[in-house]
């Protein structure tokens, strides 16, 4: 099956592109996708440790199974809103 992975912010800078189209085995999970990405982009693994996986624009989990056409994004801790850290 084919999934789309999009990258934002720090992750985009590490991967060097906005979006990848990947061919995965049936039964692949978010965790196995992350494993594959970490092999191809070694610096990505560490960044994704603290990130929240999303599938089709909803927060998901590492164990979630992926399906044909899914859009996956790893969301590092967000810092939107006001600037009062």
Partner 1 sequence: MICRITRDKIDTPALLEAVKHPEAGAVLAFEGIARNNSLGRRVLYLVYDAYPEMAEKKLRQIGEEIAAKWGITRLAMVHRIGRLEISEASLVIALASAHRADGFAACRYALERIKAILPVWKKEVWENGEEWIEGKDFAPFDQEAALKR
Select from 25, 26, 68, 83 the one that contacts partner 1 (CB under 8 A): 83
Select from 16, 27, 63, 81 the one that contacts partner 1 (CB under 8 A): 81
Q: 8: helix, coil or strand?
A: coil
Q: Does 8 bind partner 1 (CB under 8 A)?
A: yes
Select from 36, 38, 54, 62 the one that contacts partner 1 (CB under 8 A): 54
Give the footprint of partner 1 on residues 13-52 (CB under 8 A). 13, 50, 52
Pairing, β 58-59 against β 71-75: unpaired
Q: 79: helix, coil or strand?
A: coil
> Which residues in the chain belong to E strands, given as ranges?
2-6, 19-23, 52-55, 58-59, 71-75
Contact residues toward partner 1 (CB under 8 A) are 6, 8-10, 12-13, 50, 52, 54, 57, 59, 73, 75-85
């Amino acid at each position: 099956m084919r999934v789309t992975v999009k990258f934002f912010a720090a992750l985009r800078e590490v991967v060097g592109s906005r979006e990848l189209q990947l061919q995965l085995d049936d039964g692949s999970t978010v965790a196995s996708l992350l494993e594959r990405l970490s092999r191809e982009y070694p610096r990505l693994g560490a960044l994704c440790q603290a990130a929240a996986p999303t599938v089709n624009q909803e927060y998901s989990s590492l164990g979630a199974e992926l399906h044909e056409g899914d859009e996956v994004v790893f969301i590092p801790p967000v810092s939107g809103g006001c600037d009062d850290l």
